[in-house]
A and B are shown apart, each in its own frame.
Chain A
Amino acid sequence: MKVLIVDDFSTMRRIIKNLLRDLGFTNTFEADDGNTALPMLKDGGFDFVVTDWNMPIMQGIDLLKEIRKDPKLKHLPVLMVTAEAKREQIIEAAQAGVNGYIVKPFTAGTLKEKLDKVFERLG
């Protein structure tokens, strides 16, 4: 399974990459904001996206909306991992079609639980 990790902080990308590796996702790629991520996704082959919200140029919520707008990408599962914790933001993400929402700081257990849930729902 090919996974794209989108976060502007390389440390956070590395943490998520390591956690995903421990959960058996070894084929991971990285992007530092939505603007870099979108062309990578459009090139194809990705099965899953983990994205932050607050990033320069293109934020995670806008990346999510772009993904849902694109006929080829709209079914791609997106997990949001972010420090953004306002209720209206979580509602906005849900309405935009996010598949899971994790607030930072988070634990390896939470990541595993949410991933399991996302894939269980997708069947």
Chain B
Amino acid sequence: MADQIVPLLSLSQAKALVAHLEANEIIAANEIVEQASDISISEGQVFEKVGELTRELHDALVSFQNDTRLIDMAGHDIPDAKLRLNYVIEMTDKAANKTMDAVDNCLPIADKLIADLDAVKPSWQGLMNRELALGDFKKLCHQIDGLIEESSSSAINLRTSLTDILMAQDFQDLTGQMIRRVIDLVQEIELKLVGILTVCSSEENAEIKKETACIDNNIKAEGPIIDAESRDDVVNGQDDVDDLLSSLGF
């Protein structure tokens, strides 16, 4: 099609041109020539632009077809990211439970220690005030002996639990790495999507879609707010909640 030769001047235009020249109407004749060259230039520009866009579209489609990265992402990386995120939930769950198990183990030890000390205290105070009978003194000695024995095993027990709590925090490092990988993938997908958007849809459409997405979000539950300080539609902590509720008459 591009090779087909199109006359710059139509037959009727040529005849009119000859007529004008024969009648010595130079201005009218020049107008016909200018008009014809104008049209040919603008048509040429349109063809060029269409050609350019077609080439771009073709290249983009070919590059999408040949982009094995996209296939990799859809078939492997995204399911992999899902697994990773599920693993993060599992790990944080395990860490939280491990920590709470250790705390559950520690609390009764602390309670028993308090109770044992309270039991010894009256006799001990009696001894300090030199008001303790010999029989009671012997009893106190046995009590304290028992307390020492038990405290030392309790302390070892506490130490083990505290170490467990410490060790349970390793999830932060591991889940952090996983989440970082998923963030990288999301960024890559974002770039690819922007590429598809610029080829397939006009900028206006993209803007409109973005806006409607925002409106939808407003009604839905949003989960933890990570940018509370820069937003004025959310509260910033419990004090704000209390203020808001009391302003509503709570």
Residues of A within 8 A of B (CB): 9-11, 14-15, 18, 53-54, 59, 83-91, 94, 101-104, 106, 110
Q: Which residues of B contact A53 (CB under 8 A)?
A: 221
Contact A85 B248 (CB under 8 A): no
Which of B97, B218, B221, B245 is within 8 Å of A94, CB to CB? B245
Measured in the bound complex, the distance between the Cα atoms of B165 and A91 in whole Å is 39
Which of A84, A88, A102 is within 8 Å of B238, CB to CB? A102
Residue B113 lies at the interface, judged by CB distance under 8 Å to chain A: no
Instruction: Given A11-B97, A14-B97, answer yes or no on A87-B248 (Cβ-Cβ < 8 Å).
Output: no
Contact A59 B234 (CB under 8 A): no
Residue of chain A at shortest CB distance from B219: A88
Report how many residues on chain B are interfacial, defined by Cβ distance under 8 Å: 25
Instruction: Given A94-B245, A102-B238, A110-B238, answer yes or no on A84-B228 (Cβ-Cβ < 8 Å).
Output: no
Contact B221 A90 (CB under 8 A): no
Residue of chain B at shortest CB distance from A110: B238
> How far apart are A116's CB and chain B's nearest CB, in angstroms?
14
Contact A94 B248 (CB under 8 A): yes
Residue B203 lies at the interface, judged by CB distance under 8 Å to chain A: no
Q: List 19 A-B contacts (CB under 8 A).
A: A10-B93, A11-B93, A11-B97, A11-B100, A15-B96, A18-B100, A18-B103, A54-B221, A85-B228, A85-B234, A85-B235, A85-B236, A87-B244, A89-B221, A90-B241, A91-B248, A94-B245, A101-B245, A106-B238
* In the A-B complex, the 9 residue pairs with the closest CB atoms: A54-B221, A11-B96, A83-B224, A85-B234, A85-B235, A85-B225, A86-B234, A94-B248, A101-B241
Contact A84 B222 (CB under 8 A): yes
Contact B245 A90 (CB under 8 A): yes
Q: Which residues of B contact A11 (CB under 8 A)?
A: 92-93, 96-97, 100
Which of B93, B100, B233, B245 is within 8 Å of A86, CB to CB? B233
Residue of chain A at shortest CB distance from B231: A86
Residue B223 lies at the interface, judged by CB distance under 8 Å to chain A: yes
Measured in the bound complex, the distance between the Cα atoms of B223 and A14 in whole Å is 19
Q: Which of B61-115 contact A (CB under 8 A)?
A: 92-93, 96-97, 100, 103-104
Contact B244 A91 (CB under 8 A): yes
Measured in the bound complex, the distance between the Cα atoms of B239 and A106 in whole Å is 11
Which of A18, A87, A103 is within 8 Å of B233, CB to CB? A87
Q: Which residues of B contact A84 (CB under 8 A)?
A: 221-223
Contact A14 B100 (CB under 8 A): yes
Residue B237 lies at the interface, judged by CB distance under 8 Å to chain A: yes
Most A Cβ at <10 Å: residue of B93, B228, B238, B248:
B238
Q: Which residues of B contact A15 (CB under 8 A)?
A: 96, 100
Task: Known A-B contacts: A14-B97, A94-B248. Give 19 more (CB < 8 A).
Answer: A9-B93, A11-B93, A54-B222, A54-B223, A83-B224, A83-B225, A85-B225, A85-B234, A86-B218, A86-B233, A87-B234, A87-B235, A88-B233, A89-B221, A94-B250, A101-B245, A102-B238, A102-B241, A103-B235
